[in-house]
Amino acid sequence: MNLCNRCNLWPVLVFRLRNFESLSWITAGNHKLEYEWIGPSPDEAPTIVFLHEGLGSVAMWRDFPERVAAVTGLGALIYSRAGYGTSDPVSLPRPVSFMLDEALKVLPEILDSFKIQDAILFGHSDGGSIALIHAGSEKSNKVRALILEAPHVFVEDLSIEGIVAAKADYENGSLRSSLERYHGANVENTFRGWNDVWLSPDFRSWNIESYLPNIKVPVLLFQGENDEYGTLKQVEAIKLGCGGPVQTVVLPNCGHDPHREYPERVLEDTGVFLKDVTNRELNS
């Protein structure tokens, strides 16, 4: 499934209106970031922190975080990183270290600002990689579990082929107009900030496997068999590398977006997983 089709999987305008009405802003990493909070506060329940994909935003999650919060009874924080949605733009080009910077500098600041002490990181694609880095770092003391969709721990040829195809679609197809509905004036900043760094020669050696052994919390990992950006080698590396339990769900006939292509399955498995995690926390 190409990126343009992925962006058109749902109606946009009604959701955007609902979302803009409930958006707030916080400053982190010297940028003003849009966010939405759903459900109980951090002093009432653990918080699921949603970390979007490389071209994502608050709006592109659609109603999925709300559904997860309803099923689990937990709080949900959804925010757009700098350069996405209506958050502040970033200076380009992004450095090769951009995901490390998000995981080790910006995310800890956000957790502290909201006084989140019990976090479940739900990361999609680049957001999944950011979640892994954070959970494997010295700053992971607030993380209780990870839920990952199509994360990357190294760069594959398939990843680059998919990103080259996205560039062609953005420059010559309809991807730009599709993304503009979510990112508005940020669309060029959003796309170039993601595409250019992934295609830079220096990024080919990017690898975060060294963070995996320090991840002791439970992990639930969703991967589509037909993901256009990564193979099952990513799943195997995470499963073998993590220092704690990893539950994997490989979905047939699924691309890069499990929660959009298999929403009921992802929602159900997420609910069961988080019930187990919270029960273990209560009994520990």
**Runs of H (alpha helix) within the chain:** 3-7, 13-22, 64-72, 98-101, 107-113, 126-135, 157-172, 175-183, 187-198, 232-241, 258-261, 263-283
The per-residue pLDDT for range 188-220, each reduced to its tens digit, is 999 999 999 999 999 999 999 999 999 999 999
**Strands 219-224 and 119-124: what pairing?**
unpaired
The per-residue pLDDT for range 80-136, each reduced to its tens digit, is 999 999 999 999 999 999 999 999 999 999 999 999 999 999 999 999 999 999 999
Domains and their CATH numbers in the chain? 3-283 (3.40.50.1820)
Please report which confidence band the pLDDT of residue 281 belongs to, taking 50, 70 and 90 as the band edges.
confident
Calculate mean pLDDT across residues 223-232: 97
Alpha carbon distance 92, 102 (integer Å): 15
**For residue range 251-275, what is the model confidence (pLDDT) as tens digits?**
999 999 999 999 999 999 999 999 9
The predicted pLDDT at position 21 comes to: 57
Residue-averaged pLDDT of the chain: 93
Going by pLDDT thresholds of 50, 70 and 90, the confidence category of residue 280 is confident
Structure confidence by residue, pLDDT tens digits, 33-89: 999 999 999 999 999 999 999 999 999 999 999 999 999 999 999 999 999 999 999
Structure-token match 């966010």, residue found? 35
User: For residue 183, what pLDDT band results from cuts at 50, 70 and 90?
Assistant: very high
Q: Collapsing DSSP states into helix, strand and coil, what is residue 50?
A: strand
What pTM did the predictor assign? 0.93
Q: Which helix (H) or strand (E) holds 95?
A: none
Question: What is the predicted pLDDT for the residue at 18?
Answer: 40
At 22 the pLDDT is 67
What percent of the chain is modeled with pLDDT above 90? Answer: 89
